[in-house]
């Protein structure tokens, strides 16, 4: 449905945020989401908040008109640029705006 609203959109905003599920000191005892190995939470770093965290990352791609094109979860250790490589077939021939972390990588 989002693709129909964004059909002629050429500009998108890309960002991510940490989803902390527990303190790092409690990560070994945490049982949250550890029943399936492919979706284990792990440790990541949020540069904008200068903090390490244990959990996941929420990645979002939004058009400049405010319609979300994509919202996905990844393990906390996945860098934003790797997320962009995964969704590049859905975002061809467009201009992406992101924070400093995304802007310093050349994305094609």
Mean pLDDT across the chain, nearest whole number?
A: 78
Q: And the tokens for 85? A: 């490589």
Contact 61, 87 (CB under 8 A): yes
* Phi then psi dihedrals of residue 80, to 5 deg: -60, -35
pLDDT tens readout for residues 7-42 = 667 888 888 999 988 877 777 767 676 666 667 788
Res. 47 pLDDT band, cuts 50 70 90: confident
pLDDT at 100 exceeding the cut of 70: no
The pTM assigned to this predicted structure is 0.75
**H or E element that contains 68:** strand 68-75
Pairwise CA distance, residues 25 & 82, whole Å:
27
pLDDT at 58 exceeding the cut of 90: yes
């Amino acid at each position: 449905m989002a693709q129909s609203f964004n059909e002629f959109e050429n500009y998108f905003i890309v960002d991510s945020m940490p989803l902390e599920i527990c303190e790092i000191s409690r990560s070994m005892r945490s049982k949250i989401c550890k029943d399936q190995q492919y979706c284990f939470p792990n440790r990541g770093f949020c540069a904008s908040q200068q903090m390490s965290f244990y959990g996941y990352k929420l990645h979002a791609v939004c058009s400049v008109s405010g319609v979300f094109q994509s919202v996905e979860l990844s393990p906390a250790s996945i860098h934003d640029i790797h997320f962009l490589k995964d969704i590049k077939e859905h975002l061809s021939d467009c201009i992406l705006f992101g924070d400093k972390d995304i802007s310093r990588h050349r994305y094609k």
